[in-house]
Amino acid sequence: MRKIGITTTIPVEVIYASDCIPVDLNNIFITSSNPENMILEAERDGFPRTTCSWIKGIYTACLKENIKEVVAVMEGDCSNTHALSEIFISKSVKIIPFSFPFNKDYDTLKKNIESLIKYFKTSWEKVYQLKEKLDNIRRKLQIIDELTYIDCKVTGVENHFFLVNASDFKGDYNKFDKEVDLFIKKAKKRKSIKKKIRLGLIGVPPIITDLYSEVEKLDVHIVFNEVQRQFAMLNFCNDIVEQYLNYTYPYSVFERVKDINKEIKKRKIDGIIHYVQSFCFRSIEDTIFKKELHVPVITIEGDRPQKLDERTKIRLESFIDMLKMRKIKNEKNYISA
Ligand code: SF4
């Protein structure tokens, strides 16, 4: 079976409908035994130090996995994709362009999905059959999400792991489905996590290796992984074009703000960690989040797959202390009112 590289979430139903295997190159990079080495390999091949580490990791992952075709999202994902695609072409990797139209035009997106369907020689009918299968797994991912923020039996990192893998369903959706079933069964038997502070994590998936464990040591439960939840497509609808229009990540930042504020309320979130990746254009959007989100926001930056540095740890501790004091004050005001 042909392996198809993907660099972000795309209509993966099309790839499965054509009996190919989707491979999310981000996941290959970050779960490899030595991701730092993959970055160094890209730098040895000429990638500048001042390029996002995810891009360098994706590049090396593609070559190492010997992937010959990559779906590259030219609009709606990453400002580096164009240049990365050119490098891939120079290495004889075929690029299949795909775009999420910035204006969220239904017909344009439908046409773009149709181009993918043509390239992969499949049909809308088969794509919808696959959508039904993947939606069944997505419904189980929704249970994991609810076990995180309602029952509090799933940790932030576990939530991250299952939702982020919905970009390619780990290349074998039947196997992933079984893994999800097993996890839900085990998680339901656990006792609830009792922590003082509920946090949300927004932004691209963090490259810092111990972010969740370090934050959760501070009496914190991470109950929301914004982008990972978007990858999992938990806003169910019957029309696949609508499904990929409801996906907030590739479109305007204001769609994301609306979604995050809704989840802050629903999940009773006390504060937000905005993770930004060094050299990523999306860091510019930080000012909008700080202004528009309904709870305090701390921005932290990561560069390479390393542990949390001491300075960021201290900033996070101060932020969480502030949230604890704020919560006590709000509770006192509520009682005396
Ligand atoms: S973190 Fe930013 S620059 Fe890096 S791959 Fe993702 S979108 Fe692109």
Please state, in angstroms and rounded to a whole number, the distance separating the CA atoms of residues 165 and 232.
Answer: 8
Atom of ligand 1 nearest to the CA of 279: 3
Are residues 90 and 67 in contact, defined by beta-carbon separation less than 8 angstroms?
no
Structure token pair of residue 249:
């990540």
Question: What is the per-residue pLDDT for 206?
Answer: 96
Distance 321 CA to ligand 1 centre (A): 31
Ligand 1 pocket by Cβ (under 6 Å): 52, 54-55, 78, 80, 204, 277, 280, 282
Atom of ligand 1 nearest to the CA of 77: 7
Please state, in angstroms and rounded to a whole number, the distance separating the CA atoms of residues 121 and 98.
Answer: 16
DSSP letters, 167-210, are: GTGGG-HHHHHHHHHHHHHHHHTSPPP--SEEEEEEESPP--TT
Between the CA of residue 278 and those of 55, 206, 227, what are the distances in Å?
11, 11, 17
Question: What is the per-residue pLDDT for 329?
Answer: 84
Radius of gyration of the chain (CA): 20
Q: Angle at which helices 156-164 and 173-188 pack, to 10 degrees?
A: 160
Question: What is the per-residue pLDDT for 214?
Answer: 97
* CATH architecture classification, 3-122: 3-Layer(aba) Sandwich (3.40)
Distance 283 CA to ligand 1 centre (A): 10
Please state, in angstroms and rounded to a whole number, the distance separating the CA atoms of residues 152 and 144.
Answer: 10
Please state, in angstroms and rounded to a whole number, the distance separating the CA atoms of residues 20 and 6.
Answer: 12
Are residues 183 and 162 in contact, defined by beta-carbon separation less than 8 angstroms?
yes
Torsion over CA: 141, 116, 129, 244 (sign): positive
Are residues 92 and 119 in contact, defined by beta-carbon separation less than 8 angstroms?
no
What tens digit of pLDDT does each residue of 66-122 get?
Answer: 999 999 999 988 999 999 999 999 999 999 999 999 999 999 999 999 999 999 999
Which parts of the chain register pLDDT below 70? 337
Residue of the nearest CA to atom 7 in ligand 1? Answer: 78
DSSP-based three-state secondary structure for 262 = helix
Question: What is the per-residue pLDDT for 337?
Answer: 65
Residue of the nearest CA to atom 3 in ligand 1? Answer: 280
What tens digit of pLDDT does each residue of 23-40 get?
Answer: 999 999 999 999 999 999
Question: What is the per-residue pLDDT for 328?
Answer: 86
Torsion over CA: 103, 104, 106, 112 (sign): positive
Atom of ligand 1 nearest to the CA of 26: 5
Pocket mutation for ligand 1, best pick of 277, 278, 281 (most atoms within 8 Å of C-beta): 277
Pocket mutation for ligand 1, best pick of 8, 73, 80, 281 (most atoms within 8 Å of C-beta): 80
Please give the DSSP secondary-structure letter assigned to residue 151.
Answer: S
- Domain boundaries, given as residue ranges, for the chain: 3-122
Distance 32 CA to ligand 1 centre (A): 19
